[in-house]
């Protein structure tokens, strides 16, 4: 099979131009905070705003429509409108990337212990009267086996809703979907599954954390239900994308190998050209395939990278208007888990790289330099990498991306130098605990750092509000 050079997957420049343009447009839409339904303009107007041609814009719009960032109306009075990326867009992007990572049962269990444990504890603290009514209704025995499976899923969703933590709930649902993939075709005891979820729900309502965690852990020890995920609306293009990925694996094709041309792939998978193109676009977005145009072109196997899934998930979370406390709570869970695992597992070469990164972070914060935030983000990405758990690393990278994009939009009157010093000092303490292999201290330092960050944010918010009141006073 023919080989073609692969672009650098970590670089924005390695991605096709329409994908880069779509990302830029998506960020602008999100950062504008324009309400859903806001008219962005007719295609010629939007193209002029971005200094591109209408044909180039149309290529980028295809990706924006796929992700649900914009909607388009044809005809008179038509054009682009702001839309809210649906949860399914984020779920599909994460699932597409992580299903290729060959996650072990132990890695999934580590991530689930952290995420689900935090969700159960929060559900017990925040459950209210409306949650009580929903859970009580679902605990009643269903009429038949089919209803049993659906009720078990509904019970889990009701517990996640009671936790009031949309970020961790999203990641928990993703892990359920990944488990569904592994359990397809397996025998499953739906009655035991439902009974354990009932036990967990009853323990939450009774305020018994130990029993709630015990039942939830026992429920996780069963194979995940191969039933239909209630959040999932699968398109034909999604199924073909999965079939193409399966074909790549079965044929043991490597990055750079030629997958084929449109006509041959249409015939192989028995689909129309439009459906095939939709499927290829999904895979191209994640980097799993690469399309080369012109002479010697074709469709080639790529190397799936996390950037598309991270961006789509961060984009979705940006649109649901999370408050800072929700982000900090999720970061406490995920980053403390990554730091603890990293302190137990960090490789010597990564330890050296991490030491250099934190030194650069501290130096950049003294001034601070214009790129001090990027220096700090590099430290956090390396800490995530040190944990050697692709699932925990991915979740942590999503939170870093979300925090960076939120920071870019925040307006504060407090000196950024104070924040830079706070971040760099705490990073140095966390990294020291990781490199000297003190897992408990690494987790503690991480949670302490995020507590300090939450306090800084609260002070900043209060100072900004006071300043606005003074300026608006007669």
Q: What is the pLDDT of residue 11?
A: 42
Q: How many Cα atoms occupy the beta-carbon half-sphere of 333 within 13 Å?
A: 27
Q: How many CB atoms lie within 10 A of CB 50?
A: 14
What confidence tier does 413 reach under pLDDT thresholds 50, 70, 90? Answer: very low
Question: pLDDT band for position 408 (50/70/90)?
Answer: low
- Give the domains, in start order, of the chain with CATH numbers: 12-84+234-307 (1.10.10.10), 90-221 (1.20.120), 322-472 (1.20.120.530)
- For 28-66, give the secondary structure using H, E and C: HHHHHCCCCCCEEECHHHHHHHCCCCHHHHHHHHHHHHH
Give the Cα separation of 265 and 271 in Å (integer).
8
Residues 251, 108: contact at Cβ < 8 Å?
no
Specify the higher pLDDT residue, 168 or 69: 168
The answer, yes or no, to whether residue 437 has pLDDT greater than 50, is yes
Task: Look up residue 72 and give its DSSP letter.
Answer: E
User: Could you tell me if 194 and 152 are in contact, meaning their C-beta atoms sit under 8 angstroms apart?
Assistant: yes
Residue 170's pLDDT is 94
DSSP string, 341-407: HHHHH--HHHHHHHHHHHHHHHHHHHTT-TTHHHHHHHHHHHHHHHT--HHHHHHHHHHHHHHHHHH
Is 292 within 8 Å of 5 (Cβ atoms)? no
Q: What is the pLDDT of residue 28?
A: 81
Is it the case that residue 220 has pLDDT exceeding 90?
Answer: no
What pLDDT band is residue 9 in, cutting at 50, 70 and 90? very low
Q: What is the mean pLDDT of residues 388-405?
A: 92
pLDDT exceeds cutoff 80 at 76: no
Q: Over 90: is that where the pLDDT of 425 sits?
A: yes
What's the confidence (pLDDT) of residue 278? 85
368 upstream amide cis, omega within 30 of 0: yes
C-alpha separations of 417 from 106, 375, 414 in Å: 41, 14, 9
- pLDDT tens readout for residues 335-385: 999 999 999 999 999 999 999 999 999 999 888 777 888 899 999 999 999
Whole-number percent of the chain with pLDDT over 90? 34
Average pLDDT of the chain is 83
Mean pLDDT is lowest, of 178-187, 192-201, 241-250, 391-400, for: 178-187
* Helices and strands of the chain, counted as H and E runs: 20, 6
The helix/strand/coil state of 411 is: coil
Q: What is the pLDDT of residue 222?
A: 53
pLDDT in tens, 255-279: 888 888 888 899 999 999 888 888 8
Q: What is the pLDDT of residue 228?
A: 41
* Per-residue confidence (pLDDT) for residue 118, from 0 to 100: 95
If DSSP codes are grouped into helix, strand and coil, which group holds residue 112? helix
Q: Which of 104, 102, 124 is nearest to 112 (CA)?
A: 104
pLDDT at residue 344, as a whole number: 97
Write the pLDDT tens digit of every residue in 93-149: 898 888 777 788 899 989 999 999 999 999 999 999 999 999 999 888 877 777 887
Q: Do 123 and 204 form a contact (C-beta atoms < 8 A)?
A: yes
Q: What is the mean pLDDT of residues 161-173?
A: 94
Judged against a pLDDT cut of 90, whether residue 172 lies above it is answered with: yes
CA dihedral 192, 194, 195, 201 (to 10 degrees): 150
Q: Is the pLDDT of residue 421 over 60?
A: yes
Neighbours of 452 (CB within 10 A): 14
Question: Percent of the chain at pLDDT above 70?
Answer: 86
């Amino acid at each position: 099979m023919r080989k073609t050079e692969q672009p650098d997957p970590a670089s924005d420049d390695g991605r096709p131009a329409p994908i880069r343009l779509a990302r830029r447009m998506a960020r602008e839409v999100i950062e504008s905070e324009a309400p859903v339904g806001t008219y962005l303009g007719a295609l010629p107007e939007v193209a002029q705003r971005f200094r591109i041609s209408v044909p180039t814009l149309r290529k980028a719009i295809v990706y924006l429509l796929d992700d649900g960032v914009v909607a388009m109306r044809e005809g008179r009075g038509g054009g682009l409108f702001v839309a809210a990326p649906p949860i399914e867009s984020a779920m599909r992007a994460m699932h597409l990337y992580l299903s290729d990572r060959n996650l072990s049962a132990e890695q999934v269990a580590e991530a689930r212990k952290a995420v689900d444990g935090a969700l159960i504890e929060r559900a017990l603290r925040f459950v209210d009267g409306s949650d009580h009514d929903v859970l009580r209704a679902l605990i009643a025995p269903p009429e038949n086996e089919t209803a049993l499976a659906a009720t078990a899923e509904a019970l889990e969703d009701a517990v996640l809703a009671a936790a009031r933590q949309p970020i961790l709930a999203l990641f928990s649902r993703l892990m359920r979907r990944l488990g569904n993939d592994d359990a397809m075709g397996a025998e499953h005891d739906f009655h035991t599954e439902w009974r354990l979820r009932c036990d967990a729900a009853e323990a939450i309502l009774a305020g018994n954390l130990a029993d709630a965690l015990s039942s939830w852990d026992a429920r996780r020890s069963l194979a995940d239900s191969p039933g239909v995920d209630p959040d999932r609306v699968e398109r034909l293009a999604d199924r073909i994308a999965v079939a193409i990925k399966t074909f790549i694996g079965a044929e043991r094709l490597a990055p750079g190998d030629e997958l084929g041309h449109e006509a041959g792939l249409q015939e192989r998978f028995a689909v129309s050209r439009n459906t095939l193109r939709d499927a290829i676009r999904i895979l191209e977005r994640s980097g799993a395939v690469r399309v080369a145009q012109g002479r010697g072109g074709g469709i080639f196997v790529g190397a799936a990278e996390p950037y598309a899934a991270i961006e789509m998930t961060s984009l979705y979370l940006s649109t649901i208007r999370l408050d800072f406390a929700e982000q900090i709570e999720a970061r406490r869970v995920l980053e403390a888990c990554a730091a603890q695992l990293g302190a137990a597992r960090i490789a010597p070469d990564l330890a050296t790289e991490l030491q250099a990164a934190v030194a650069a972070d501290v130096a950049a914060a003294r001034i601070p330099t214009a790129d001090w935030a990027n220096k700090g983000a590099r430290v956090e990405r390396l800490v995530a990498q040190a944990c050697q758990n692709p699932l925990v690393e991915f979740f942590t990278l999503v939170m870093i991306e979300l925090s960076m994009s939120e920071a870019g939009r925040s307006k504060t009157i407090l000196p950024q130098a104070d924040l830079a010093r706070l971040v760099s000092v705490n990073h140095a303490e966390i990294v020291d605990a990781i490199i000297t292999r003190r897992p408990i201290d690494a987790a503690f330092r991480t949670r302490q750092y995020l507590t300090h960050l939450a306090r800084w944010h609260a002070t900043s918010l209060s100072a900004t509000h006071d300043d606005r009141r003074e300026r608006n006073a007669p």
